[in-house]
Amino acid sequence: MASHRRPKQPSRARVTVLTATAAAAVALTSQTAQADPKPSKTDVKAKVDKLYEEAEKATEKLNGAKEQQGKLQKQVDNLQDKVARGQDELNDLRDDLGSVASAQYRSGGMDPALQLFLSSDPDDYLDKASALDQIGTKQTEAINEIQGKQRALAQQRKEAQEKLGDLADTREVLGSKKREVQTKLGDAQKLLNSLTAQERAALKAEEAREAEKAKEAADRAADTAEKAASTNGGDDRASRDTDRADVSESKPSSGRASSAYAAAQSVLGKPYIYGTSGPNSFDCSGLTSWAFAQANISIPRTSQAQTGAGARINSQSDLQVGDLVFFYSDLHHVGFYAGNGQVLHAPRTGTVVRYESIDNMPYQFGVRVG
């Protein structure tokens, strides 16, 4: 007979536990939602700036790898040319040796004493024997030369192979650094996309205002220096032709730095694009190396290497317009000193060549090229 007992009701304690658990879950969900609010414009800017800084570090390493790749490629090309020329020379030597051997074979293999006994003209034979002896000496010299060429050729081939290996490693580094830069820039763009259009416009407007202030400060410094140069120089035109913000004509680098600085000024507003060095876009060291190249001065491509391009200047008070200025402990950023505490540089992705306060970045030291 079937049982018709009523199902057992949950106890009051069990209901209480379930209710508390559900409430805790709802509260935790609510807390989680509250703990992950939309980041503020200030927070996004700080994170984006950090990503851009990391991208620029990787960019300078990318530039270094590019420079190294170019040097290695030239070395490989030169070695391969040497190997090709050496092989041609070796082939010529072998051909000459083969001709000598053929001549000896055609002269016959008869014993020299018997040839002298049978000769109808002993004097003629002795002359020929002397010539053959000379041929033998030349043959020995040719063999020695061939052996030397073979050793040199083997060494050049080994060097070329090693350089090719270095070139392959450098290309791997190049690809890795390029991917790193692209990843950092992509992450920065995602953060910027999390802002509203209004917030992004506000950030750009703020940057534009700061750049305009920096430009005005640099212009004031240039005007002051120009007046001072005119007053102190009298009719000395050479003095007025030196750096607008550097009235110290005794500095040997002032004229050269002035030309490079003027070149950098001519590309104000050009966009920052990592890995480029003008004339339509620049990264930080691309701008400085390009500008000095316009003044017929060759300096290294990367910011770290450019620190050795001239005399070091530690104090900001000793800086002159046109000096290179370096920032961050690893020296991954460089620009031109523009006077009055301002820098002319290519800042980072999303910006253009512009003026900026030297205090916006951790200054390390300057370098006067000349």
List the catalytic residue out of 345, 348, 354, 368: 345
Backbone angles phi, psi at 311, to 5 degrees: -80, 135
In whole angstroms, what is the distance from residue 126 CA to residue 137 CA? 17
Reading phi first (left if > 0) and then psi (alpha if -120 to 50, else beta), residue 341 is in: left
In whole angstroms, what is the distance from residue 321 CA to residue 369 CA? 11
Pairing state of beta strands 342-345 and 354-357? antiparallel
List the catalytic residue out of 284, 343, 353, 358: 284
Reading phi first (left if > 0) and then psi (alpha if -120 to 50, else beta), residue 289 is in: alpha
List the catalytic residue out of 163, 177, 251, 333: 333
Picking from 366, 364, 354, 349, the residue whose alpha carbon sits closest to that of residue 54 is 349
Residue 333 annotated in active site: yes
CB contact at 8 A, 313 and 351: no
H or E segment at 326?
strand 324-327
Catalytic residue numbers, as ranges? 284, 333, 345
